[in-house]
Amino acid sequence: MTAAQCMAQLIIISKRLEQAAKEATKQTADEILKASTEKYCPVETGELKKSAKLEEENTGREYKVKISYNTEYAIYVHEIARYYHPHGQYKYLETPFNELTPKLSSNVESKLKGVI
């Protein structure tokens, strides 16, 4: 194999590794969002739960996944513990994020094994 062929292979593998890492990140974010909406998100009218969304941003240099709830009161329900939550809890996004973020490593490892 020539040096040019080696470099071409490295570029291909590098792109596959990057894609695998993005897929693992998205997979973990999906798991966080699912846990947040199904287990932790307070439900009174259902509007807060329905406002949950996941957005991907890929600039080529950076890959980001954003999970958010989009109501005017989402921040208050999330941050203020004294509000009554008949179903769910405050910190409804932070809690599953903290619980599931360590899983990102195993998701990445799993995806990378498929590439190497």
Residue 57: its pLDDT value, please? 95
Q: For 40-59, what is each residue's pLDDT tens digit?
A: 999 989 999 999 999 999 98
- Report the percent of the chain where pLDDT is more than 90: 59
Which residue do the tokens 């709830």 mark? 69
Neighbours of 92 (CB within 10 A): 25
Which stretch, 6-20, 62-76, 101-115, has highest mean pLDDT?
Answer: 62-76
Percentages of the chain per state (helix, strand, coil), in multiples of 5: 60, 10, 30
Residue 111: its pLDDT value, please? 85
pTM reported for the whole predicted model: 0.87
